[in-house]
Structure 1
Amino acid sequence: MKIIATKEQLEAGTQTVNRAVSSKNTIPALSGIYLKTSPDNLVLKATDLEIGIECVIAAQANKEGEVVIPARYFTEIVKKSPDEQVEILVEDNYLVKISSGRSLFQIHGFAPHDFPNLPQPAERKIDWVNKDLLKTAIRQTIFATASSENRPVLTGVLYERKEQELVTVATDGHRLAYKNVEVANNPNNRNTVIIPTKTLQELNRLLANTEEETVGVIIENNQIFFDLGNVKIYSRLVEGQYPNYEGVIPKSSTIKVKLMNKIFADALERCSLLAKDGTNLVRINLEGNKLKIYSESPEIGQVYEEIDVESEGGTIEIGFNSRYLLEGLRAIEEEEVGLEMNSSLSPATLRPINSDNYLYVVMPVRLV
Structure 2
Amino acid sequence: MEFTIQREDLLKELQRLQGVVEKKNTIPILSNTYLAAVKDDLELVATDLELGIRTSARAKVSKDGAITLSSKKLFEIVRLLPEDQVSFKLEDNHWVQILCARSRFRMVGLPKDEFPPLPAYDFGKAIPLELKTFRNMVSRVLFASTADDARYPLQGVLAILNKSHLTLVATDGHRLACVSGKVARKEAERELRVIVPRKTLSEISRIDWGDSEELLFGVHENRVFFKSGGLMLASATVEGVFPTFEKVIPKENDKLLELGVGQFTDAVRRVSLLSNERSRAVKLSLQPGKLEIFSSNPEMGEAREMVEVGYRGGELEIGFNARYLLDFLGAVGEEKFTLHLKDEQTQGMLTPLLTGEIEYRYIVMPMRI
TM normalised by structure 2 equals 0.96
Residues 161 and 188 of structure 2 are in contact (CA less than 8 Å); yes or no, is this contact kept in structure 1? no
Decide whether the 8 Å contact of 1:125 with 1:189 is kept in 2.
no
Q: Find the aligned partners of 2:254 and 2:13 in 1 and give their Cα distance.
A: 54
SS of 1:73 mapped into structure 2: helix
Amino acid at match of 2:270: R
Structure 1's 83 and 254: CA in aligned 2 closer, same or farther, altered over 3 A?
Answer: closer
Matched with 1:163 is 163
Count of aligned pairs: 366
- Aligned-partner residue type, residue 196 of structure 1: P
Match of 2:23, SS state, is: coil
Separation in structure 2 between the aligned mates of residue 19 and residue 240 of structure 1, nearest angstrom: 25
The DSSP-based 3-state class of the residue aligned with 1:133 is helix
Please show how residues 188-337 of structure 1 align to structure 2 within 5 Å.
188=189, 190-206=191-207, 208-337=208-337
Offset of 1:350 from its aligned partner? 0.5
Letter in 2 for 1:329: L
Q: Separation in 1 of the partners of 2:26 and 2:147?
A: 25
- 1:323 counterpart letter in structure 2: R
> Quick check: 1:257–1:312 contact (8 Å CA) kept in 2?
no
> Which of 357, 361, 364 lines up with 1:362 in the alignment?
364
Mapping of residues 27-46 of structure 1, within 5 Å:
27-46=27-46
Q: How much does 1:147 deviate?
A: 2.1
Distance 2:42 2:73 in 1: 19
Moved over 3 A (4+): none
Shift of 1:29: 1.9
* Identity over aligned pairs, percent: 36
Greater displacement, 157-166 / 310-319: 310-319
Q: What residue in structure 1 maps to residue 5 of structure 2?
A: 5
How far does residue 220 in structure 1 lie from its aligned partner after superposition? Answer: 0.7
Which amino acid is the alignment partner of residue 249 of structure 2? I
Aligned-partner Cα distance in 2 for 1:300–1:92: 66
Which secondary structure state, in structure 2, belongs to the residue aligned with residue 199 of structure 1?
Answer: helix
Kindly tell me: are residues 28 and 304 of structure 1, through their superposed partners in 2, closer, same or farther at Cα, counting changes over 3 Å? closer
d(CA) in 2 for partners of 1:41, 1:15: 18
Answer whether contact 2:127 2:186 (CA < 8 A) is retained: no
CA shift, 1:254, in A, is 2.4
Tell me by how many angstroms 1:91 deviates. Answer: 1.5
Q: Does 1:174 align with 2:169?
A: no
SS of equivalent to 2:72 = helix
CA contact (8 A) 2:35 2:43 kept: yes
CA distance in 2 between partners of 1:81 and 1:354 (Å) = 48
Closer, same or farther: CA 261–34 of 1 in aligned 2, 3 Å: same
Q: Deviations over 1:230-259 (max 9, x none)?
A: 211111110111000000000121211112
| CA–CA separation in structure 1 for the residues paired with 2:265 and 2:101 | 53
The aligned counterpart of 2:125 is: 125
Tell me by how many angstroms 1:332 deviates: 1.3
Pairwise CA distance, 1:190: 2.4
Structure 1 residues 70-96: Cα deviation after superposition (integer angstroms, max 9, x where no partner): 222211221222451110000222211
Contact 2:2 2:64 in 1 (8 A): no
Moved more, 3-12 or 81-90: 81-90
Deviation at 1:218, TM superposition (A): 1.3
Indicate the residue corresponding to 1:113 in structure 2. 113
For the residue of structure 2 that corresponds to 1:346, the secondary structure is: coil
**What are the ranges of 5 or more consecutive residues in structure 1 without an aligned counterpart?**
none
SS at match of 1:105: strand
More deviation, 237-246/305-314: 305-314
Alpha carbons 2:2, 2:37 under 8 Å: kept? no
Q: Find the counterpart in structure 2 of residue 91 from structure 1.
A: 91
Say whether the 8 Å CA contact 1:256–1:312 is kept in structure 2.
no
**d(CA) in 1 for partners of 2:259 and 2:76?**
49
SS of equivalent residue, structure 2 residue 189: helix
Equivalent position amino acid for 1:361 in 2:
I
In structure 2, the CA distance between the partners of 1:102 and 1:237, relative to structure 1 (3 Å rule), is same
1:148 shift after superposition:
1.1
Alignment of 1:122-161 (within 5 A): 122-161=122-161
State the superposition RMSD in angstroms.
1.4
Alpha-carbon distance, 1:325 to partner? 1.0
CA distance in structure 2 between the aligned counterparts of 1:20 and 1:259, rounded to whole angstroms: 39
Distance in 1 of aligned mates of 2:13 and 2:259: 46
Tell me if the contact between 1:254 and 1:313 (Cα under 8 Å) persists in the aligned partners: no
CA contact (8 A) 1:275 1:296 kept: yes
Q: CA deviation at 1:269?
A: 0.7
Give the whole-Å Cα distance in 1 for the aligned partners of 2:365 and 2:352. 18
- Secondary structure at the aligned position of 1:141 is classed as helix
For 1:75 and 1:174, how far apart are their aligned partners in 2? 39
Q: Deviations over 1:151-182 (max 9, x none)?
A: 11111111111112110011000001110111
> How many Å apart are 1:63 and its aligned residue?
2.5
